[in-house]
A and B are shown apart, each in its own frame.
Chain A
Amino acid sequence: MSLYYVQKLLYQLNRDPAVRRRFEQDRDALLDEYELTDEERRAIEEGDIGLLYVMGVNGQILMHYSALLGQSWDEYIAAMKEGVKKHGPVRAGLYTLLKDRNV
């Protein structure tokens, strides 16, 4: 539902060292500022890259969160594939463009 805010949080985390510091030191308060569903919040807290991908987070944003978590490139790719296996196809966002637009 709030894919926009999941992506916004990760976008700000990627670009702003101050947000990264808050993510390390004051995570609950930081996450409270975004309109996240319980599932989205849990996926971020648990670093569940596969689920975040399935939710529709753009890879151009997600790959940096993966790197921040210390994952290698191969681990990042594997996590997305694992996510699709576990949770099914991507639900929303850019990667469902053709489905959403029915073209």
Chain B
Amino acid sequence: MSLVFAGVCSHAPGITGRAGRADPAVRDEFYAKLDEMRQRLEAAKPDALIVVAAEHFANFFMNNMPAYCMGMAEQYEGPIEDEEWLAIRRTEVPGDKDLSRRLIEAMLGEIDLAYAEEWKFDHGIMVPLHFLTPRYDLPIIPVNVNCQGPPLTPLARAYQFGRVLRKACDAQPERIALVGTGGISHWPATPDSGTINEEWDREFLRRFLANDRDALISYTDADTFRDAGQGGFEIRTFIAVAGATEGATGELLFYAPIPIFAVGCTVATMNVQ
């Protein structure tokens, strides 16, 4: 069929793990908008959900770091982190090996994509799933873009990756949903945790929601590191979603800095047609 849904959301572990320490009013509105995203996702009746994530040394390390990798397993499990630390119970998550294989085969014509038949989801995928597929009943196809261990893929390549992913999705009979999860500006797991550059975030989101490719890919990593922290490198996941929905604009459901969650919490969907 084709791509039937696309969106982005935050994935910081504090969103679940430190839930009790956030301002309840802001937190509950954020959770409500994540639930609205879940409803929109379900209304699109997807057969599978591709999650483009920026994992944090759960499966991939500098001994053999792919720029892009797609999961190709029948099932996955997560979270890899301590269950109490993340406040998400460990569970099995269904995959769709056959669909993964077809997508990978289609994409390899244009992209040097790695694949993995083992994958333990970290908070980068489990926090979004906790809100978007809380019964873990929708087959998930994980994608990782290396946003943690430089050298990193250039932003123009991340956009192109999205385009190629879209083409592969549109060539399959299934109804496919896509969610990107990442930053935006943040300094996670460092002494600067809780710092958020709201102005930078809002300008990035403006470019993202307008799907302004040239503006999206114009950031240098040095600028991003300075203005948006090392967590800002995760804009690659948003840019991949923009590439997959080229020509479409987006709708911002929620944005607010929540310092104890260490990120400007974001929920947005793209008008996929």
Which residues of A are at the interface with B, using a C-beta cutoff of 8 A? 4, 7-8, 11, 14-15, 53, 58-64, 67-68, 73, 77, 80-81, 84, 94-95, 97-98, 101, 103
Which residues of B are at the interface with A, using a C-beta cutoff of 8 A? 14, 17-18, 56-59, 61-63, 80-82, 85, 120, 148-150, 188-191, 193, 221-222, 225-226, 230
Q: With A15-B80, A67-B82, A97-B230 given, is the CB distance from A81 to B191 under 8 Å?
A: yes
Tell me the dominant secondary structure on chain B's binding face.
loop
> B190 to A97, Cβ gap below 8 A?
no
Give Cα A59 to B14, complex, Å: 14
Q: Please name the 10 residue pairs, one residue from A and one from B, whose CB atoms are nearest each other, closest first.
A: A59-B189, A60-B56, A103-B222, A63-B189, A80-B191, A59-B190, A81-B191, A67-B85, A11-B57, A11-B61
Closest chain B residue to A73 by CB distance? B18
Residue among A58, A77, A101 having the largest count of chain B Cβ atoms under 10 Å: A58
A-B contact pairs, 27 of them (CB 8 A): A4-B62, A11-B57, A11-B61, A14-B57, A14-B58, A15-B58, A15-B120, A58-B57, A58-B148, A58-B149, A59-B190, A59-B193, A60-B56, A61-B56, A62-B189, A63-B189, A64-B81, A64-B85, A67-B81, A67-B82, A77-B191, A81-B191, A95-B230, A97-B150, A97-B222, A97-B225, A98-B226
List 20 extra interface pairs beyond A60-B148, A95-B190, CB under 8 A: A8-B61, A14-B58, A14-B80, A15-B120, A59-B188, A60-B188, A64-B81, A64-B82, A67-B81, A73-B14, A73-B17, A77-B191, A77-B193, A84-B191, A94-B148, A95-B230, A97-B150, A97-B221, A98-B225, A101-B222
Q: With A15-B58, A15-B120, A103-B222 given, is the CB distance from A8 to B63 under 8 Å?
A: yes
Query: Which residues of A lie under 8 Å from residue B62 when comparing CB positions?
Result: 4, 7-8
Q: How close is A59's CB to chain B, nearest CB, in angstroms? A: 3
Closest chain B residue to A94 by CB distance? B230
Query: Which residues of B lie under 8 Å from residue A80 when comparing CB positions?
Result: 190-191
Q: How close is B145's CB to chain A, nearest CB, in angstroms? A: 15
Give Cα A94 to B120, complex, Å: 24
Query: Which residues of B lie under 8 Å from residue A67 when comparing CB positions?
Result: 81-82, 85
Q: How close is B267's CB to chain A, nearest CB, in angstroms? A: 23
Closest chain B residue to A59 by CB distance? B189
Give Cα A4 to B65, complex, Å: 13
Give Cα A58 to B55, complex, Å: 13
Give Cα A53 to B18, complex, Å: 22
Q: How close is B147's CB to chain A, nearest CB, in angstroms? A: 10
Query: Which residues of B lie under 8 Å from residue A81 when comparing CB positions?
Result: 191
